[in-house]
Amino acid sequence: MQISWNALFVQGSDLFTQGRYSEAEKPLVEALGLARAFGCADKRLAHTMNNLAASYQEQGRYSEAEGHYLDAVAVWERAGDSENLGLAISVYNLAGLYTAMNCYERAEGAFRRALTIQRERLAPDDPSIATTLHRLGNVCHLRGNTVEARQMYDEALAIIGRHGTPILPEVANTHNSLAVLNIEEGRHDEAIVQFERAARIWESALGAGHPELAPVWNNLGGAYAAAGRRPAAERYYARAAQLIERTLGGAHPQLAMVLLNQADLLREMGRKKDAKRCEKRARTILGALERENHLDETVDAKR
């Protein structure tokens, strides 16, 4: 008996939610094959393309992810005005991919488009708007516009604060982003407190083995390194690297960035041989990914 589109889609989406991205791919590919029969403007087709793209993105397969996100956006556009929130989700996800690809101008444009749709369709204090403001703030920060970035973080926190129940992921993300700004301004102790708070929130919400914790631990390692607390920095870099390798695999771009950060730290500590070992492995990962995705730079974490 043929498995239904719904069963395959739910199976793949559940695996994705659990952080099992490579396992999610197979049922989502099969679901996409079935969804094509629904028509080129069917929302089931768009949802499947979107989730498969997200699976590819988390595996570091950016070219495949971009193609499926763009296909999903095209389906939503054909679906018409009534499906604009679905369009906002796929455009938002595409913006996140462009951020990971270091294509910040394209990312900013996509986030602004998603935010415009959300403001038209949702209540002013909807959590989705806070999420988009936060991510757009990150891109503004990366493009050097720290003033607008802080304004967006502040608006996101204000939206979150109007909810009686804390929206834990958004609180964690905003603390993480403000901590990065504080590091750049030399306020290392404040940054460490905010990074640690973000890590505790994520661990409580997702569990200690979820890959979402790895970027926070990487950033926390950077904050300790900037504060001159090198043993703590080394400990958090190691935790991030181990978690990425265990959950996302040994060829993921996030692992390369953590290894480069470790190499910088080890060189500062006079451990040149260990630093060269980390750097060599990182360059191998990045070289393979660059050949696959035709990218000059492929990493997304803060260094």
Question: CB neighbours of 29 closer than 8 A, spacing ≥ 6?
Answer: 52
Does residue 115 lie in a domain region? Answer: no
Q: Is the pLDDT of residue 102 over 60?
A: yes
Report, as an integer, the average pLDDT of 118-139. Answer: 93
Cα–Cα distances in angstroms (integers) from residue 155 to residues 125, 164, 289, in the given order: 10, 17, 36
Does residue 11 lie in a domain region? Answer: no
Does residue 85 lie in a domain region? Answer: no
Q: Is the pLDDT of residue 131 over 60?
A: yes
Cβ–Cβ < 8 Å for 101, 295: yes
Cβ–Cβ < 8 Å for 87, 123: no
pLDDT in tens, 257-280: 999 999 999 999 999 999 999 999
Q: Which helix (H) or strand (E) holds 235?
A: helix 230-247
The DSSP result for 92-130, as a single string, is: HHHHHHHHHTT-HHHHHHHHHHHHHHHHHHS-TT-HHHH
Cβ–Cβ < 8 Å for 195, 177: no
Q: Is the pLDDT of residue 303 over 70?
A: no
Domain coverage including residue 235: 166-303
Phi/psi zone of residue 3: left (φ > 0), alpha (ψ -120 to 50 degrees), beta? beta
Does residue 37 lie in a domain region? Answer: no
Percent of the chain with pLDDT over 70: 93
Closest CA to 113 of 145, 143, 82, 88: 88
Average pLDDT score, the chain: 89
Reported as a pLDDT band with limits 50, 70 and 90, residue 6 is: very high
231, with CB counted inside 10 A (0-12, 13-18, 19+), is: exposed
The count of structural domains within the chain is 1
Reported as a pLDDT band with limits 50, 70 and 90, residue 204 is: confident
Does residue 204 lie in a domain region? Answer: yes
Give, as one character, the DSSP assignment of residue 296: S
pLDDT in tens, 282-293: 999 988 877 776
Reported as a pLDDT band with limits 50, 70 and 90, residue 201 is: confident
Question: CB neighbours of 296 closer than 8 A, spacing ≥ 6?
Answer: 102, 290
Report, as an integer, the average pLDDT of 66-90. Answer: 91
Does residue 223 lie in a domain region? Answer: yes
CATH of the domain at 209: 1.25.40.10
Does residue 18 lie in a domain region? Answer: no
CA atoms within 13 A on the CB side of 150: 7
Q: Which helix (H) or strand (E) holds 204?
A: helix 188-206
Cβ–Cβ < 8 Å for 191, 179: yes
pLDDT in tens, 149-197: 989 988 988 888 787 555 567 778 888 888 888 888 888 998 999 899 8
Does residue 105 lie in a domain region? Answer: no
Cα–Cα distance measured from residue 9 to residue 6, given in angstroms and rounded to the nearest whole number: 5
SS3 77: helix
